[in-house]
Structure formats: C-alpha cells, structure tokens
Amino acid sequence: MANAKRMGSLLLRLIAFGATLTAVIVMVTARDKATFFTVSYEARFSDTPAFKYFVVAYTIVSIYGFLVLFLPSESLLWRLVVALDLVFTMLLTSGASAALAIGYVGKKGNPNAGWLPICGQVPKYCNQATVALVAGFIGLIIYTMLVLHSIHAVLNPLLLQKS
C-alpha cells in the first residue's frame, strides 16, 4: 500500500516534470516574424519581462523536479521536500500568473490603456505562448495537488491522535 502510494506520487512528479519542461521548451522556441511596411521584426519570449520570468521560474522548478525523482525513498530529505514543494509551487504560481496576465493583454489588448492585441500580427508566437501557458498550468496544478496531499498526510495522523 505504502509502495503503491509512493509509485503514484513518483508518477505525478514525473508528469509534473514533463509539464514544466514542456512549458519552458515551448516558450523558449516561440518565435514569429511580423512585417510592418518594410520593417520586419521577430517576436520572442525575451521581448516580454513576464515571459522571461516565466521561463526562469519554470526552469528552476524543472531542475528541482528532475533531482527529486532520484531521491531515495528512505531519505530523511523527503521531509524537506514538503517545504521545498511549497516554495517552488509558489514560484510556479507567480510565474504562470504574471505570464497569463501579459498573455491576456497580448490576445485581447487593453483599450483603456491603448494597448493593442498583438496576436493578429504574430499568430504562431501567440499560439506557442498559449501552449506553454497550458503546460505551465498543468505542472502547477500537479504540484499543488502534491503539496496539499503532503500536508494532508502529515496532518492526518495528528488529527487522529487528538480525537
């Protein structure tokens, strides 16, 4: 039973690692050329600070997610992993929220501020950024589940002791 649970959590971590890595790769390779009159311009993630932050945050968590996969099951460090999971989940939340807020302006624009949507000019870039965001949110949801599950697992025996 404990073994099945461990395998399940390891599988979740593997999927989460895949999702965060996909988010980074898709975002970094997102490019599209737009031509305004005679000036041609290539849109990249590094044009937008929020997307740069997204890539940095998801790269850090991907490295962490990769390393945790190789932590032996009897290691005492697993206790530390609960706290690290929490910190890195907050990093994902922050990166995904910032990128989503900017991506929304890119798609819909903000007429009140006079910011025009750019997806019409660089549709390929826009679609890839959307895919990266979806992969990013999948990774975020899995990490949130892992954190809530760890907290539940840690609190539950204490709750039983009390009652």
Check residue 29 and report its DSSP letter: T
Q: Which of 139, 144, 104 is nearest to 26 (CA)?
A: 139
Q: How far is CA 40 from CA 33, 127, 129, 132, 136, in A?
A: 7, 20, 20, 25, 30
- Where does residue 110 fall: left (phi above 0), alpha (psi -120 to 50 degrees), or beta otherwise? beta
Alpha-carbon gap, residue 52 to 69, rounded angstroms: 26
CB of 83 to a second copy, least distance (A): 6
Window contacting a second copy (CB under 8 A); options: 10-18, 22-30, 63-71, 96-104: 96-104
29 or 94: CB nearest a second copy = 94
Stretch that binds a second copy, among 10-18, 20-28, 64-72, 148-156 (CB under 8 A): 148-156
Closest to 48 measured CA to CA, from 95, 89, 87: 95
Binders of a second copy among 104-143, rule CB under 8 A?
A: 104-106, 110, 112-116, 118
Nearer residue to a second copy within complex by CB, 29 or 110: 110
Say whether residue 59 binds a second copy (CB under 8 A).
no
Binder among 82, 134, 141, 145 for a second copy (CB under 8 A): 82
State yes or no: residue 7 binds a second copy (CB under 8 A). no
